[in-house]
Amino acid sequence: SAVISQKPSRDICQRGTSLTIQCQVDSQVTMMFWYRQQPGQSLTLIATANQGSEATYESGFVIDKFPISRPNLTFSTLTVSNMSPEDSSIYLCSVGAGTGYETQYFGPGTRLLVL
């Protein structure tokens, strides 16, 4: 398994601002993922971030709103841009592990409240 940390753990932001969330892994991993969990709901995949390539976004998520960086094999950032109250969610990163990256391990999440 992998140990994953996220910063910040929580934040309260004003609408119209942007927040960058960091995800750090204790080992080198090829595949990293960003999820969103809106209040009372299940997780939704935002994008897949592989080192050395552009992030792949899921339907309903765009790069202008959620730019992602993946500068190396242990680190990634997700930015939530031009925030509105609807962006209030938990944002989680995960990494793929196993021979075929079939198992994902999740970070603790970043709790974001937009006022």
Partner 1 sequence: DAKTTQPTSMDCAEGRAANLPCNHSTISGNEYVYWYRQIHSQGPQYIIHGLKNNETNEMASLIITEDRKSSTLILPHATLRDTAVYYCIVKETSGSRLTFGEGTQLTVNP
Query: What is the binding site for partner 1 (CB under 8 A)?
Result: 1, 4, 31, 33, 42-45, 48, 58, 92, 94, 96, 100-109
Between CA 23 and CA 87 the distance in angstroms is: 19
Between CA 114 and CA 109 the distance in angstroms is: 16
* DSSP codes joined into one string, 30-50: SEEEEEEE-TTS-EEEEEEEE
Helix (H, G, I), strand (E, B) or coil at 93: strand
Q: Which of residues 75 and 81 has its CB atom nearest to partner 1 in the complex?
A: 75
Q: Which of residues 16 and 98 has its CB atom nearest to partner 1 in the complex?
A: 98
Q: Which of residues 4 and 78 has its CB atom nearest to partner 1 in the complex?
A: 4
Least separation in angstroms between residue 82's CB and partner 1 is 26
Least separation in angstroms between residue 58's CB and partner 1 is 8
